[in-house]
Chains A and B, each alone.
Chain A
Amino acid sequence: MSLLELEGITASYGASQALFGVDLTVDEGEVVALMGRNGMGKSTTINVICRLLKNQSGTARFAGQDLSSYPSYRAARLGLGLVPEGRRCFSSLTVWENLMASARKGEWDLNRVGRLFPRLQERLDQYAGSLSGGEQQMLSIGRALMTNPRILILDEATEGLAPVIRQEIWKAISELKKDTGLSILVVDKTIKELALVADKAVILERGRTVWNGQFQSLDATITDQYLGV
C-alpha cells in the first residue's frame, strides 16, 4: 500500500473548477516530482492533500487513513510536512522560535536541522523576517522537518532564489533522500535539478494527471508536450 494515494481528485475554488481528476501515489521512501505548467493544478493538489481545500470527489488517503474527514491540523499530525509556496515563515519570531513552535517528538530536532542547514544554526536568534529568501526557505523546510513528518511536501521550494542557494537547497533535499529515506513530494519546474532526486514523475495538465511514470523515462516528446512553453 502506498503512503500517499490520490485517486480521481476533483476540486474547485468557489465556482471555478481547478482539478478534474488527479491521480498520484507516493510510496514509502520515494521521491515524486509533481510537474506541469503554471496554473495546471499543482498547488491546488497540494492544498487538497493538506486539507486546506476540500476535494469534491475522488479519494485522498494517507498512511491508510481517508483524509476526507480530517481538518488540516489533524492531517498534518498524521505526518504531512508541508513547505508552502512562498515560504511563509513567522516573521516576528526568531529562527529558534519558528522551529520550536512546530516541534514534535521524533528523530528531527534542533541539532539535526542545524546540521542539515548550518546557516540556520548560525542565526538562531535572528528574526525570520530579517533572513534572506534562501535562509527563509531553509527555515521553512526546517520547520516542516521539526514536525517529524512521514512525507515532506515541497511546493516550489527553489522558486525565485539565487543559483547558489538553489544548489544548496537541492543538495539538502538529496541528503534527506539518501540519509533518511523520507518520502518526498516535490513541485518544481526545473527538470535538470529534479533529475538529481526524483524517482517518479507525475505531470498535470488542466487539472488532470496526464502522465505518470519513472522519472528516467521522461523523454523530450513528453516534456515538450506538457512542460514546454
Chain B
Amino acid sequence: MAEGKAILYDASRCSACKGCQVACKCWNLLPSPMEKNTQAWNGSMQCPPDLDHRTRLIITFDEADNGKKYGINWAFGRRACMHCTDAACVMACPSGCLYHDEETGMVSFDRDKCIGCKYCVSACPFDVPRHIGGNGLFDAGAKINKCTGCIDRIKNGRSPACVTTCQPGALQFGDWEEMLAVAKERVEVLKAKGFESAQVYGEEQVGGTHVLHVLKYPLEQYELPENPQVSPLIGAMNWMKPILGVGAIALVGGLGLSFLTGVGYKRPEMRYDEANHDIINVETGEVVRHIDKEAGER
C-alpha cells in the first residue's frame, strides 16, 4: 500500500474545463504553440490529442452510447504521470535522474541528470514520459519532461498547480489514505445513483499510485490500462550490471591464469618439405613428422 501524498481526480465532478492543463503549463513554463492552427482539428475536444514534450497533463474525452433514447455517456478523464509506488521509470533510469520523493511518494526528476536515453519511455506502463529537445534522428540533447507532482509547491505548503485551479473540485490533494477514503466514499455515492461501473483506480495498480482516480463510467472510456505491469525484463536488466561485473572479474582472472601458464613458452621453428611431405625441425634438420598422403593424411 502506498504512503505519502496523493492527487485525487474525481471524473464524476470534472467539467472538462481544462483549467488544470492551463495551470500546469503556467506553473511549469510550458507554453502551447502560439501559431495559428498549429493543432489540427481531429473531431475531439481532447487537445492536444496526447501528452507531448511540453504538455504534462491532458483531459481525455470519450463518448459512449448510454442505451437510452437521448444523451450519451460522456466521460472526462485525466492523463498524466500516475506517480506509481513501483515506478518502472525509476527502475529503468540508468542515471538516477528519475526518483521517488521520499516525503510525498511522487515520482520526480532531476533534469540535469537526464542523459536522454528514453529508457523511461519504454518502461512506463502508462506511456507518460516525453522529452524536450532532440527528437530527430540523432536526438542530441533530449531531456525528460513529465508531471513532477509539483513537489516544489508541496514542499512549500501548497497544492499542485492543477489542484489549486480546479473549479468544480474534481481535483483534491492530501494524504494518500485520506484521498483513498474520499474516493471510496464517492464511488459508493455514484453506485447508489446507478453508475454500476464506478470504481477507484490506483489503489492496487503498480503498488498503489499517487494519483487516484474515481471513474464514473467503465474503464474502457478512460485512457488507463486495465492491468498496468512493470515488465520483469526491467528487473532482469538491472541484474545484468552486477553479473557483468562478476563475469568480467572471472574472465580477467581466468585469462590471467592462462597467461601465467604460458609464460616462457617456446617451440622449435618448423618447415614443410612439400615434395616429401615431411615436417622438418629447421635447427636440427630432423624430420619430426611424415605426412602419409597415401594413407589419406592431409
Check if A and B associate: no
Binding site for B on A (CB under 8 A): none
